[in-house]
Amino acid sequence: MTRPTSRVLLLLELLQSSGTRTARELAERLGVDERTVRRYMDHLLELDVPVEAVRGRYGGYRVTPGFRMPPLMLSDEEAVAVLLALAALRAAPTAGVPDTASATAAAKISRALPERLARRARTLLDTTVFTDLPARAPVSDAGVLLTVADAVRHHRPVEIRYRSANAAPSERRVHPYELAAYQGRWYLTALDVRRQAERTFRLDRITGARAVPGSFPPSPDPRPPLADRFARAHHTHHVTLRVRATEEHIRARLPPSVAVLEPVPPPPDDATGTWYRAEIRAVRLDWLPGVIAALGCTVVVERPAELRELVGRLATRLAATSVTVP
């Protein structure tokens, strides 16, 4: 059952403001029944807040005497949001914000969190790879994110409920290898135990995750960055281009998830030029002529011949287009 965070925090404030309060008094102040108050108490105990029941005529609930509450109380979702934002800031620095500022802020927040949550948050930050973060990375459930991160760190199998791109549900047992935030999405790379094949899962499609007993050995093979794996994925067409431009210019149209770039020597008639070879794996070729035209520089299509034909057709259509400028 979902416990409204605002009511749980209000309960904590009520307990801190006086010695002992009865369940009936707390229920009236919170607008809930006494059974719900007891559930909220359990939630505080899960957050390592030492609340105790006092028996007797003047009994009720109180915070253990002498305990000093930390100045910051966040839910799992709030803590994950704040710490991941700070980690992303360190991965993609912003002008005017020193690297040390995000690091020290994260350390202060971690120290102020209850130990259980702080430990899980540190595991998440230590196991996550942040690359190419221009957009928000949606996650359906912070609990899934924390569970998966813990499994990556400690090499524990996980059972997940997964929804594919066509919304087909499935249940899988996986060995998680890597957790990565890339281009606005979270991804989990793991061994699908039943299929005995490595797969990459989108985290926002994982509707539930549960660690199971046991462990598995780390992957014996070093893994290339996630962007390289996406760019080298097996598709229908293997495209090779030679482009006369800087890497920054090319990346504006061909990001790392689309193309693998490699600097190559310039041709004899262009000794001062900067050239790159771009390798692209594509399911279709129809989108590439427009991208090549948008690059606005010299591009040599090395392969396939079909793409050269498509580029030629686009050039013919553009040359035949009549544009009237008022």
Peptide bond into 304 cis (omega under 30): yes
Q: What is the pTM of this model?
A: 0.45
* C-alpha–C-alpha distance, residues 45 and 52, integer Å: 9
* C-alpha–C-alpha distance, residues 61 and 24, integer Å: 10
Helix/strand/coil for 149: helix
**Which pLDDT score is estimated for 96?**
46
pLDDT digits (tens, 9 = 90+) for 112-168: 677 777 777 777 777 766 655 444 445 556 778 888 888 888 899 999 999 887 788
**Which pLDDT score is estimated for 2?**
43
Residue type, 1: M
**Which pLDDT score is estimated for 294?**
92
CA neighbor of 295 nearest in space, from 314, 268, 270, 269: 314
**Which pLDDT score is estimated for 74?**
65
Q: Which tokens hold the place of 25?
A: 């008094």
Q: Which residues of the chain have pLDDT under 50?
A: 1-3, 93-97, 133-137
